[in-house]
Amino acid sequence: MGEYEPKIEVHFPLSVPAARGVTVRLECFALGNPVPTITWRKMNGNIPKKARLRKSQAVLEIPNVQLEDSGTYECKAENPRGGTAFKGYLQVYTFPQWISTINDSQLDSGDQLHWECKATGKPRPTYRWLRNGEPLTPQSRVEMVNGELIIQKVQQADSGMYQCVAENKYGAIYCSAELNILASPPVFSPNPVRLIATLGKDMLLGCRPRASPKPRVTWRRGDRRIQPSRRIMLLRNNTLRIINSSRSDEGNYVCRAENQFGSAEMTAMLWVKEAMRVDLSPSRVEVTVGESVVLSCRVSHDPSLDVTFQWLLNQQPLNFQQEGGHFEYTQTVSITLFGYYMIPRPPGPPGVVIVEEITDTTATLSWSGGVDNHSPISSYNLQARSPFSLGWQTLRTDPEPVTGDMESAMAVELNPWVDYEFRVVASNAIGTGDPSTPSRGVRTKEAVPSVAPANVSGGNGRRHELVISWEPVSEEFQNGEGFGYIVAFRANGTRGWKEKMVTSADSTTYKYRDETFPPLTPFEVKVGVYNNKGDGPFSGVVTVYSAEGEPREAPSEVKASSTSSSEIKVTWRPPNPGPGRPRGYEVSYWKDSEQEESGKRKKTAGNETSMALTGLEGNRVYLITVRGFNSIGQGPASTASTAKTRKDPPVQPPANLVWIQEGTNVSLNWDPVKSKDNESDVIGYKVLLSQEGRVHNQVVRTITPSAVLSLPEGGTYIIEVRAVSEGGEGATSSQVRVLTSSGKTRLW
């Protein structure tokens, strides 16, 4: 058998779906003589480095396939007689995996339920909800959007077991939670309540019954309902506030709580007593070690109340019963100290801070205590700084506060995927000391984004475009690699959302083009976020209009009239208002002996409805059209109108200009100007008088070839004459220079 070109007999499918993590084998066997050589390539990318060729390069094997391995692969068989190729697409998919699930909830009747479940997967999962095993459908109170379930004003009938289902075409996953709607009558504990207020001070009487739904609360004193006044107020939490309490406020106050399941009352017995005053308090004393000192304390108080005293050293209670102690308590409420210590100071800096464990939002820190400077350390303050913070910032901790006997704590509420340094500051009763040396820099783990884009808006754009814009999310809140945006939109009144991925973290705009929707179509728009960990939240929904179209109608009532040999005035009426409104107008004009394409065009600066065409030729017929335009394009042109410019003005200037002085007046005469056949008729003359050195002209008009001028005294004046015709002004005569002085006029 002779030589023949290769022919691929066995090949992988046109589309190869594969789960992430498996080993994929793409086969490509070819016949030919000589035996063909098989080569492989990945279109628009490189074959993964982990890939291996088997069976004389006829099998491409990709172990542990990942999402980035997706793409079009080509095998090519070649020998000296020719070559052939086959292409197929490898689609790597992932089963849905939970990012966040729902938890059991107990709500009061009438509250709002808001559950959200989120999952990753490729293709991206869709969501549905079940209640007690049955599909949950949207209702007036029930809304389900992208893994969110919202039930307004929950009722007893809403109780049950709920399931969120996340699924793509390769599988489904379930998470469950129970919703329990509470319903109980009000109950108070304890009851009654005894309270003591200080004379002249404000007093708060609380009313906090256990009930579901929340009860209606009223207060009364005796048999009379309490009415709010300037001194007695009912706060939002049903607490009764009495301002500047007095003896007359003593008595029993009753709080009544009631809902549809029952009612209950709580009695608060209030006494008002004189405030306690300190008459003698310990003062600062400095003594030598080994000496004794006596500290005294004396108070005045309401005789109906007993008073007890407690002494503390550095915020710790003194133990007067300790055997071998050097503190003594006497009935006169004084203490004696033997062997007084050195004066304490704020603590020194803690030791080296070590980051023991880091997650996406927490960091477990440990340190060693510094010198307490003779006053026990009472608390530690954890601080951090990042590329996004203004210096060192105090952190939230677990536990909180961090007490002086601790040397480890967890910093919480950190931002994922951010570089941090940490330090610790110690405090005692005297003050706050210097901070520790900063820890080594560490980066928190990646997490799903939690901040949605702000200021979502849009509009304008080109014809049939929907332009959506937003304020990009700061790098501080991107939470991981592969950050991008999910732009979702739907025409008002429709149900399904279109979603488009924008892969650049710096993007601020997305443009969607569709020839089918008309101009200024309203869309519901929201923009979400995602990264390699999964999808984050969406912004709130806003309304954005698609771009308007070009003007649909031509201007009407276009009129053109000649005003001179070089100018035509054009006016028109705007088209009816509606989508595609003009932002301006374009006037096209051309001579009747020319084609429209060779004419000129002139645009208005705004929405004006008139224009003067200048620089035209005299005694010519022009055709004129008007069309509206906006940022999208131009609208249709109006029907062409015609206008003829007037003949050119006379070329010959007024001649033989003669002047005669009569006192302060100057009489002028000149020869009439006669128009030629191709010139417009003279309808008068214009005499121009200007003072030498000044721009302003004084104009005298006359229909005859003569004029009388009255000249002011004390100046040099220039006189000129022009013929005026229907086509404009003609040439200027020779100049006359006049000097006036002391009531006399000199001409030359």
Each residue of 282-337: pLDDT tens digit?
776 766 666 777 777 877 777 777 777 777 777 778 777 777 677 777 765 454 44
- Among residues 737, 700, 734, the alpha carbon closest in space to that of 717 is found at 737
What pLDDT score was predicted for residue 334? 57
What is residue 679's DSSP assignment?
B
Those residues whose C-beta lies under 8 Å from the C-beta of residue 616, and which sit 6 or more positions away, are 565, 566, 567, 568, 622, 645
DSSP-derived letter for residue 417 is T
Same topology for domains 354-444 and 454-546, yes or no?
A: yes
Look up tokens 């990042």; give the residue. 386
**Whether 650 contacts 731, CB under 8 Å:** yes
Q: Taking the alpha carbons of 451, 452, 453, 456 in that order, is the dihedral positive or negative?
A: negative
Please name the residues in contact with 35: beta carbons below 8 A apart, sequence gap of 6 or more: 79
Through-space distance between the first and last CA atoms of the chain, rounded to whole angstroms: 120
- pLDDT at residue 335, as a whole number: 46
Band of residue 339 on the pLDDT scale cut at 50, 70, 90: very low
Q: In CATH, what is the architecture of 4-94?
A: Sandwich (2.60)
Whether residue 136 is predicted with pLDDT greater than 50 in this model: the reply is yes
pLDDT the model gives residue 341: 41
H or E element, residue 179: strand 171-182
Closest CA relative to residue 667, chosen from 627, 637, 711: 711
Mean pLDDT lowest among 135-139, 153-157, 282-286, 668-672? 282-286
If you ran DSSP here, which 8-state letter would residue 543 be given? E
Backbone angles phi and psi of 475, in degrees to 5? -55, -30
pLDDT of residue 557 exceeding 50: yes
Residue 454's region, left for phi above 0, alpha for psi from -120 to 50, else beta, is beta
Q: In angstroms, what CA-CA distances link 198 with 228, 246, 276, 305, 309?
A: 21, 8, 9, 12, 19
Region label for 619, one of left (φ > 0), alpha (ψ between -120 and 50) or beta (otherwise):
left
Query: Distance (Å, rounded) from C-alpha 296 to C-alpha 309?
Result: 11
pLDDT at 51 over 80: yes
> What architecture does CATH give domain 101-182?
Sandwich (2.60)
Close Cβ partners of 564 (under 8 Å, ≥ 6 residues apart): 645, 646, 726, 727, 728
**Cβ neighbours of residue 691 under 8 Å, at least 6 residues apart?**
715, 716, 717, 718
Place of tokens 């809304």: 143
How far is it, in rounded angstroms, from Cα 726 to Cα 562?
A: 10
Q: Going along 240-281, which residue ranges are E strands?
A: 240-242, 251-259, 262-273, 277-280
pLDDT above 60: residue 455 = yes
Q: Are 117 and 100 in contact (CB under 8 A)?
A: yes
Judge contact between 424 and 383, C-beta under 8 A.
yes
> What is the per-residue pLDDT across 627-664, written as a single tens digit (0 to 9) for each?
999 877 888 999 999 999 999 999 889 988 888 877 66
Q: Which CATH architecture has domain 354-444?
A: Sandwich (2.60)
pTM (global) more than 0.75: no
Residue 741 has pLDDT above 70, yes or no: no
**CA-CA distance, 134 to 141, in Å (whole number)?**
17
Pairing of strands 82-100, 15-19: parallel
Fold that domain 454-546 belongs to in CATH: Immunoglobulin-like (2.60.40)
304/148: higher pLDDT = 148
525-547 pLDDT, tens digit per residue, is 999 999 888 889 999 999 999 98
Burial of 386 (0-12, 13-18, 19+ CB in 10 A): middle
Q: Residue 324's pLDDT is what?
A: 66
Q: What pLDDT is recorded for position 289?
A: 66
Tokens of 381: 């303050």
Q: CB neighbours of 108 closer than 8 A, spacing ≥ 6?
A: 181, 182, 212, 213, 214
Whether 149 has a pLDDT exceeding 90, the answer reads: yes
Q: Which pLDDT does position 146 carry in this prediction?
A: 87
* Model confidence pLDDT, tens digit, residues 70-100: 999 999 999 998 999 999 999 999 889 998 9
Exposure b/e, 98-130, CB count within 10 A at least 16 = b: bbebbeebebebebebebbbbbbbbebbbbebb
Q: In sequence order, what are the beta bridge partners of 357?
A: 364
Domain ranges of the chain: 4-94, 101-182, 354-444, 454-546, 556-644, 655-740
| β-bridge mates for residue 277, sequence order | 300
- Write the CA distances from 271 to 87, 194, 224, 248, 249, integer angstroms: 91, 8, 19, 10, 8
**Summary count for the chain: helices (H), strands (E):** 0, 67
Q: In which order are the strands placed within the sheet that holds 193-198?
A: 193-198, 262-273, 251-259, 216-221, 224-225
710 in Cβ contact with 717 (< 8 Å)? no
The reply to whether CATH 2.60.40.10 applies to domain 556-644 is yes
Per-residue pLDDT at 742 exceeds 70 = no
Q: What is the average pLDDT score of the chain?
A: 87
Q: Which two tokens stand for residue 49?
A: 């480095």
pLDDT, residue 101, reads: 92
* pLDDT at residue 558 greater than cutoff 60: yes
- The predicted model gives 500-522 an average pLDDT of 88
Q: How confident is the model at residue 747 (pLDDT cuts 50, 70, 90)?
A: very low
Quick one: residue 400, left, alpha or beta (phi over 0 = left, psi -120 to 50 = alpha)?
Answer: beta
Q: Percent of the chain having pLDDT more than 90?
A: 45
Q: DSSP E strands: which ranges in 43-110? A: 52-54, 59-62, 71-79, 82-100, 105-108
Rounded distance, CA 338 to CA 598, Å? 114
- Fold topology of 655-740: Immunoglobulin-like (2.60.40)
